[in-house]
Structure 1
C-alpha cells in the first residue's frame, strides 16, 4: 500500500502567516487561532501587503510590544517587571501594573534598559548559582523600586546578621532561633524589624547590588518607624538601633545623630534603665528570661550608641550612667538556651573597684558584658577630661586607671588574646568581636594617658591640674604607656590581617586604627630627642605600615572607613617626608602650633572639643547653616581651617614650632 502523502497547506490564515507558524486551514477558524483565542483572518491574497504589515507593526509598537506584528497578543512575555524577576515569579507583562504586583498592591517597575535576551541569559546564569542571595542580582543599582525579601533571602540575610553583626556592641538583642522561626512564619516581608535586620546584613556582604537593595530596605523601614514615631515600643526601638548601625556603615552621620537621640528618649519612656521587676530569675512568668535579657541588651546597645555620639560631653549625652540599674548582659550560651542568670549591676564595675582589692565578679558574662564595662570606664575618663582636667585636685583620674587594671586582670581565659582563643573564636564567628574588645581596651588606655599631655587634649592647653602636680617620672611613664598601647594595637592588627575576612566585620575599629597611627608620629616628634628620631623611625614605621594596611583592608569590606583611610594615607606620606627632611620637626594634631592655644578651655563649642573623626564633627563639616563663634575670632595663620573645608587634615605639620615646646610641662 503506497504511503499517504501529507497534505501541504497552500496559504494559511493571515494570522498564522504573520506569526510564522503552521496553519491547518480549518474551516471558519484554524486550530492555532482557536487554541490561542485569536481572530483568524482570511484573505484570497497569499501574502500580506506592505500597507497591512506597516499597520500591524504600528499597532504593535503602540501597545508596548504586547502584540506581535500580526496584531495578536504575545503568548510569551518579552520583558518581566523588576519585582517578578527578583523572586523569579511568572510575570504577565501588563502595564502599568502586572497581575502579581496588582494583587500584592505594590509598585510595579520595568527595567527598560535590559533586552529580552539579556533577561533570559540572567535567568539561565541565576539557576546555576548555589546561594539564594544571587537571586537579587537581577536588580541594577539604578532602579528606584525593589521588592521585599522573600523567606529564603530573608533567612540567609538574618543568618549573616547573627553571625557577623549581632556579636558587636550588644547588637545581639534578638534571639537567633526565635527570630528565624518568626521569619519562617511571617507572611509580610514589609515588617520594619525584618527589613532593618536584612538591610544591615547586606552591609556585611561584598555585593554592590545587595548594598543598594539594603539601602532601600533601610529607607522603607525608616519610613515605617518615623511615620508613627509617637508609638513607642520595644520592637520600634530595636528598629531604631539597627537603623543607626546601618546609617553608621553608610556614612549617614546626621541620621546617626538623630536616631541616637530618638533611641535615648525611647529608653527613658520605656524605663529600660531599670529591671522589669525584682524577679530577675523569671519565676513569676511575667516576662520570660529571653525577654528580660533582650531588653537589657537593647538598653546597653542604646547606651553605647549614646556615649559614642556624645564623646563625653555632658550637653550631648542623654543617658545618665548613674540611672542605669540593670544587669550586665549574660553569656550568649544562656541567652541562646533561654536560661535566666544573674551577672552584675553597674556599680560593681564603675567606681567601687577603684578602692577594692577584690576581683571583679565575672560569673555568667562574656564579650558583651566586658565591652560594656570598658565603655563605662571610657565615659568616666572623657568626663574627667572635659569637666575636671583643670581642677587643682587631679587625682580622681586614678579611679579609671584602677578600673582598667581590674578589667584586664578579670578577663577569663576564653577572652584572652592568644592563638588558641583566636582559632576557637574564628570557628564560632566571634573573632571580630574579640578583636574589637581588645582594641577598645588599648584605645581607652591611650585616651587615659593622653590626659597627661595638655597640648593634645581637646581643646589644647598649656597646663592642667595633673600636669602641674604630677612628678616628671609619672608624666614620662604615662606618655610611654600612651605609645606602648598604640603599638599593642598594631600587634592586634597584624593578627587580624592573617585571619581575614572573619576579623574584618567591625568598621568601628577603623577609628582606633587611625588614632594608633597618629599617636606613633606624635610620640616620635614630641617626646623623643631629635638626635634619636631617625633611628627610632626605623622601628616605628613597620608598625605604622601594619596599621595602614589593616585600615586599607578594612576599607575594602566597609566603605564607611574611607575617610579615615584616605586621611591616614595622606598623613603617613606627608609625615614621613617632613621627618626625613627635618628630624627636629614637631607634629601637632590640632590646628594650633604646639604651645599656642587660641581657644578658651571653658568654651563649650563643639568644633574644638571633639576629635575630627567623631560623629558630631563629621556632621558639622557639611552643615549649610553652622554657628562657629570661637573659630570666627581665630586667625588662619595659626594653622586653623574652617571645619567645613573638605580637605582638612587631622594631623597638622608646622616647622615653626620650637623644639623646646615639645614638652607641655616645660
Structure 2
C-alpha cells in the first residue's frame, strides 16, 4: 500500500536519453503532487553540468558563451524542428604558475594575480597552444631595464655589451639568443661545481648552435642557470615547469637526455623552495638511472659517452647529501651498487680523451696515483657519509663503548688513505687557490676534508647540542675525549681560514655548492661554542669575527637559495 504522505517519483523511461536524442526545451522536475517545481535547466547547461539560471528565451550561460540555448525553441515556435549543437570545449581560467605550485586559488587577473601582487612574487601564466603568450610573459619580455640590471650583476658575469634578448612571442620558451647566453653562463659558472659537471661542453654548445639540443634539457639548463645567477627577469619557473611536465609525460621512455634534464629540475626545485617535490623526483631519477644501467661501465661506447654517463651517475650520488644525512633508507645510490671508476679530469673530458681512474674506495696499493679534484671530492664525500652513519649509531646507542676507540681509529685511517691519494692536491695553499682554473672545486675539496673531522669529533664535545649520550662519552678516556675536542675546533678554524682566503683573493662572486654553506655554518657554531665552553673571554671577539665571516659568505653566495635560508 502506498504511503499517502510520501510523494511519488515521476515515471522514467527504461533507458536514459542521451544528449543527441534529448528533447529540446527546459528540463523541469516535479514531485508527485505537481506543486513543487525546480528551476528549469537548458540542455546546454545540462550537458556541460553547470548551474543554469533558467532565464527565458536564452539562459545567462549560453548568452555569455554565445551558445545556442535550447530555451530558444520556445521563443521561435515557427521552427518545425530543433537541432541541438553540442557545445564546444572552452578552456577554463588558468591559474598562474606560482599559485599552481603553492596549490592556492588564483583568480587569473592580468598582468598579475592578486596573490602574487600581495606576496611580491613574479606572476607568470603558462602559455597556450592556440594563442600568443600570456600578458605576463609579454611583460617580462618587454623589461629591458630589468634585464640590464641583471646583466650588470657581478654574480651573473654577463658581457656588458650583450643586449638582453626577448622571449619568443609565440610561447614562453627562450629564444636562440637567450639559450646561447644562458648555456654559456652555465658552463662558466655552474659547470665548475662537481654536481653540474656532467654535461660535455663542446657537444652541448654545438647542439645549441644547430638547434638539435633536447627540448627539456634546453629548458632545464636555462631554468637552473637563471635561478642560480639571480636573473629574475627571465621566467625560469615557467621553463622548469614546462621541462618537468614533458619529462613526466615521457616517463615510460627513459633516456640520458631525460635523466640529465630531471637532475637539473630536481636541483631547481631544491633551490627554489620545492623540496618535497624534489624529494620525490629524485627517487624517480634514481630509478631511471638504474633502468639505464648507469651504475655500470659501458666499454662499447665512445669515451665521451662513457664519461658523460659516469659523471651523471656520480652527480646523482652527490644528490644524496640533500636527503639521506646518514640514513641508509634514504640513499638513492648505495655505494655497494656502484660499479664505476671515478671521473677523469676536466681537461681530459672536454678534449674527449680517456684515462683510467680508481674506484670510489681507495686502494692501499695505489695511494701514490693522483685522482684529480673531482674524483678526490667524491672520495671525501664517501668518507663524510661513513662518519655521519657513525654519528647516527652513537646517538641511537648502537655503538658499544668498548669498540669506540677502534671505530674512531678506523675512520681516521680511511681519511688518511684518501688524503694520501690526493697527491699534491692534498696540501692546501693560497697560491694554489689563486692559480687553479677550478677554485670552487679546490675550495670544496679542502673544506669538505676538514668537515669530515668536525663531523667525526663533534659528538664528543661536552654539552654540545649534537653530543653523544653521556654513557657513550664516558666510554672514551677523558684525555682522549679532550684530544678529539681540540682536533674538532682546529679543523673548524681551518675551514674558516680557507673561506677567508677564498673571499680575499678575488673569488667572492664565484658560484658554490650548498655544502659550503653547511660547512661554514657548522664551523661557526663549533668555534663560538668552544669559546663559551672553555670560558676564553679574550678570544670571544675573534670568534665573533670568524662567525660573522661565515654568515657573510652564506648571505653573499646563497641569497637565491631557499634551501640555505635556515642557515642565514
TM-score (norm 1): 0.58
Residues 373 and 106 of structure 1, relative CA distance in 2, 3 Å threshold? farther
Partner residue of 1:393 out of 403, 415, 420: 403
Q: Residues 307 and 510 (structure 1 numbering): CA distance in 2 closer, same or farther, change over 3 Å?
A: closer
CA contact (8 A) 2:216 2:261 kept: yes
Counterpart position of 2:186: 161
**Superimposed CA distance per residue, residues 369-427 of structure 1 (whole angstroms, 9 cap, x where no aligned partner):** 011101111121122222365224222232221122233343343564323322223xx
User: CA-to-partner distance for each residue in 1:486-540, whole Å, 9 max, x for gaps?
Assistant: 11111122122222344343343112111112112222233x1x4xx31231332
**In 2 relative to 1, CA 424–106 (structure 1 residues): closer, same or farther, beyond 3 Å?**
farther
Cα pair 1:225 1:236 within 8 Å, conserved: yes
Cα displacement (A) at 1:120: 10
CA contact (8 A) 1:455 1:461 kept: no
Match of 1:134 among 160, 164, 179: 164
* Partner of residue 433, structure 2: 422
Query: Displacement of 1:452 after TM fit?
Result: 2.8
Alignment of 1:59-98 (within 5 A): none
Provide the C-alpha distance between the structure 1 equivalents of 2:136 and 2:327, rounded to a whole number of angstroms.
50
Change (3 A) 1:164 1:380: same
The 1:207/1:299 distance shift into structure 2, 3 A limit, reads closer
- SS of residue in 1 equivalent to 2:376: helix
Mapped pair 1:437 → 2:448: no
How far is the alpha carbon of 1:345 from its aligned partner? 1.2
8 Å contact from structure 2 (residues 383, 414) kept in 1: yes
Following superposition, the deviation at residue 113 of structure 1 comes to: 9.8
Take 1:264 and 1:125, find their aligned partners in 2: how far apart are those partners?
Answer: 39
The gaps in structure 2 that reach 5 residues or longer are: 1-126, 153-158
Q: Paired residues, what number?
A: 427
Distance 2:387 2:337 in 1: 18
Q: 1:525 aligns with which of 532, 538, 554?
A: 532
Change (3 A) 1:418 1:260: same
Question: Within 1, Cα distance between the matches of 2:149 and 2:548?
Answer: 42
Distance (Å, rounded) in 2 between the aligned partners of 1:110 and 1:370 = 49
Distance in 2 between residues matched to 1:236 and 1:419, nearest whole Å: 40
Bigger Cα displacement from structure 2, 190-199 vs 495-504: 495-504
Q: Could you tell me whether the CA contact under 8 Å between 1:327 and 1:342 is conserved in 2?
A: yes
| Pairs within 5 Å for 1:404-553 | 404-413=415-424, 416-425=427-436, 428=437, 430-453=438-461, 456=464, 461-464=469-472, 467-498=473-504, 499-526=506-533, 528=534, 530=535, 533-553=536-556
Of the three residues 315, 319, 336, the one matched with 1:322 is: 336
Q: Distance in 2 between matches of 1:171 and 1:186?
A: 22
CA apart distance, 1:111: 5.3
Deviations 1:289-347 (A, max 9, x none): 01111111111111111244101112222422122121011111111111121000133
Q: Which runs of 5+ in 1 are unaligned?
A: 1-101, 140-144, 280-285, 566-666
1:336 to 322, 339, 350: 350
1:239 equivalent to 2:237? Answer no
List aligned pairs for 1:271-350, cutoff 5 A: 271-276=293-298, 279=299, 286-347=300-361, 349=362
Please state how far the C-alpha of 1:191 moved relative to its aligned partner: 0.3
Q: Corresponding residue for 2:65?
A: none
1:110 aligns with 2:124: no
Preserved CA contact (<8 Å) 2:182 2:225: yes
Contact 2:147 2:233 in 1 (8 A): no
Distance of aligned partners of 1:296 and 1:112 in 2 relative to their CA distance in 1, 3 Å threshold: closer
- State how far apart, in whole Å, the 1-side matches of 2:543 and 2:345 are: 39
Deviation readout 1:575-617 (Å, 9 max, x if unpaired): xxxxxxxxxxxxxxxxxxxxxxxxxxxxxxxxxxxxxxxxxxx
In 2 relative to 1, CA 135–559 (structure 1 residues): closer, same or farther, beyond 3 Å? farther
Distance 1:397 1:334 in 2: 37
Counterpart check, 1:151 vs 2:176: yes
TM-score normalised according to structure 2 size: 0.68
Q: How does 1:35-54 map to 2 (within 5 A)?
A: none
Residue-by-residue CA offset, 1:119-174 (whole Å, 9 max, x unaligned):
89999999x995546224999xxxxx962122222122111111221222342111
Determine the C-alpha separation between the residues in 2 that align with 1:214 and 1:335: 29
Counterpart contact for 1:497–1:503, Cα < 8 Å? no
Q: Out of 205, 216, 223, which is 1:192 matched to?
A: 216
Q: Is the alpha carbon distance of 1:221 and 1:433 closer, same or farther for their aligned partners in structure 2, counting shifts above 3 Å?
A: same
CA contact (8 A) 2:500 2:549 kept: yes
Question: How much is the aligned-residue C-alpha RMSD, in angstroms?
Answer: 3.4
Match of 1:346, SS? coil
Seen in structure 2, the aligned counterparts of structure 1 residues 362 and 238 have a Cα distance that, compared at 3 Å, is farther
Aligned to 1:207: 231
Report if the CA contact (8 A) 2:343-2:375 is conserved.
Answer: yes
